[in-house]
Structure 1
Amino acid sequence: MVERNVTIGVEPGLQARPAAQFVQKANSYSSEIFIEKDEKRINAKSIMGLMSLALAKGNEIKLIADGPDDEEALAALADFVEGK
């Protein structure tokens, strides 16, 4: 299991199109992937869960991945969220 705190750098945050792209990317990995914000943990492969967090640019979140490709998944998703 790997964890990483990241700050959202994509405009306008993980809403609408960026959220859909994030979920699509998360679903390309076999690891379980979660996002934590303010003590709330959601499955990062769920668009409804992601939208429920209302993540805006500048928010800090924790990405958590656990599985056979967890490090690769975490690195790719962190880069996406940070806008790299």
Structure 2
Amino acid sequence: MANQVEKTIRIQLNDAQTIMELSQLIQKYNAEIFLQKNVLGSMVEANLKSILGLINLQLQGEDQVKVICEGPDAETALEAIESFLKAG
């Protein structure tokens, strides 16, 4: 059974951070990585390894999101994503 971890995070992005940087950061992990965000009352989920998925989420500072990672390095991937999203 694959290792799965999840965590709800309040984003604290700064102006210098881009979704391209986040996309590049997570490409090295073998885990499947998803992010869920409430958009206008509907829960939207995107694969974080998809740049289009990241764009569609329209991440902004102070958004609350759930990160779900599944795979052999899920915990490490979750730590890296949390660190990036809370770097602001």
Relative to the length of structure 2, the TM-score reads: 0.85
CA contact (8 A) 1:12 1:56 kept: no
Partner in structure 1 of residue 9 of structure 2: 6
Q: RMSD over aligned Cα, in angstroms?
A: 1.6
The secondary structure found in structure 2 opposite 1:56 is coil
| Identity percentage of aligned residues | 33
* Aligned residue pairs, count: 81
Relative to the length of structure 1, the TM-score reads: 0.89
Listed as ranges, the gaps of 5+ residues in structure 1 are none
Q: 1:41 aligns with which of 24, 36, 45?
A: 45
Listed as ranges, the gaps of 5+ residues in structure 2 are none
Q: Shift of the alpha carbon at 1:12?
A: 4.0
> Who wins on radius of gyration, i.e. which is larger?
2
